[in-house]
Amino acid sequence: MERNNLYPIFLKTKSLNILIVGGGHVAEEKLTFLLKSSPDAHVTMVSPMFREGTIALAKKGCVTLVKDSYKKSYLKGKHMVVATTDIPDVNVQVWKDCRAASKLVNVADNPPYCDFYMGGIVTKGNVKVAISTNGKSPTTAKRLRQFFEDVIPENIDDLVKNLNEYRKTIKGNFEEKVEKLNEFTKSLVHK
- Contact assessment for residue 159 and residue 189, using Cβ atoms and an 8 Å cutoff: no
- Helix (H) / strand (E) element for 12: namely none
pTM (2 d.p.) = 0.86
- Contact assessment for residue 121 and residue 130, using Cβ atoms and an 8 Å cutoff: yes
Separation of alpha carbons 161 and 172, rounded Å: 21
On the question of pLDDT at 104 being above 90, the answer is yes
The Cβ-side half-sphere exposure at 114, using a 13 Å CA radius, reads 17
Kindly report, residue by residue over 35-89, the tens digit of the pLDDT.
999 999 999 999 999 999 999 999 999 999 999 999 999 999 999 999 999 999 9
Q: What pLDDT is recorded for position 191?
A: 52
